[in-house]
Amino acid sequence: MKLSIIICVFNEVSTIEKLINKIINVNLPNDFNKEFVIIDNNSNDGTKEILKKYTSKNNFKIIFNNHNYGKGYSISKGIQISSGDLIVFQDADLEYDPNDYLKLIKHLLKNNLDFVYGSRILNNKKYHRYNIHKYVVVFYTALINYLYGAKFTDTATNYKMFNSKIIKNIKLSSNSFAIDFEVTIKLIKKKYKYDEVPISYFPRTYKEGKKINLLDAFKSLLIIIRLIF
């Protein structure tokens, strides 16, 4: 089997190679191979030059966009070109630990799930640097649960793992961080089987490169409401 790891990148020169090496060193089940699917959103800080070193490697698919189209656009592109049996989303920073892939895979396969999320809430640790982020995540997750009859603790998590057959059949339109909520809602509406597992999380500050902002929060709220109809 194969796990496709979709990594969206924009100006992560200080972390991208460290992340790639961490993923390379992750031990998956013996019958699993890794496929790197990296989409660069027109980085201008040296990230492109690092990624070019990997373009000739067999298990790497790298796309260099000529414009920063956004996380959602890159996720959709990555899903299209992925060839794995399972697909997982991965940020290009070091906030998430790739060693949690194994936990996600085992839970998905053992319980015959269609998709599984890595919840930052379930580990019972304070995981936000900014209170506003916590309030938005909790509110949006509660709103989705109420409007769509779901049972999530963390819909904003980046660690989302899917059976590739189901995610490739979902049409996504969000180009921003709202993709996290769009994909969640559309899968719920399809009645796919899902669950969550606790994961590690090491949040960074805006000074350290965090990129999500209030405009992303507004776009996310719009997509949550719009998909009701």
CATH of the domain at 140: 3.90.550.10
What's the pLDDT at 127?
57
pLDDT at res. 205: 64
At residue 138, the pLDDT reads 87
3-state secondary structure of 101: helix
pLDDT value for 1: 95
In this structure, what DSSP letter does residue 53 have?
Answer: G
Q: Show the DSSP H helices in the chain as ranges.
A: 16-24, 47-51, 71-81, 101-110, 131-148, 164-167, 179-189, 214-226
pLDDT value for 96: 94
Low-confidence ranges of the chain (pLDDT < 70): 124-133, 204-213
pLDDT at 203: 75
Domain count along the chain: 1
> For helices 179-189 and 214-226, what crossing angle results, to 10°?
20
Contact 48, 40 (CB under 8 A): yes
Give this prediction's pTM. 0.92
Range of the domain at 199: 2-226
Q: What is the pLDDT of residue 159?
A: 97
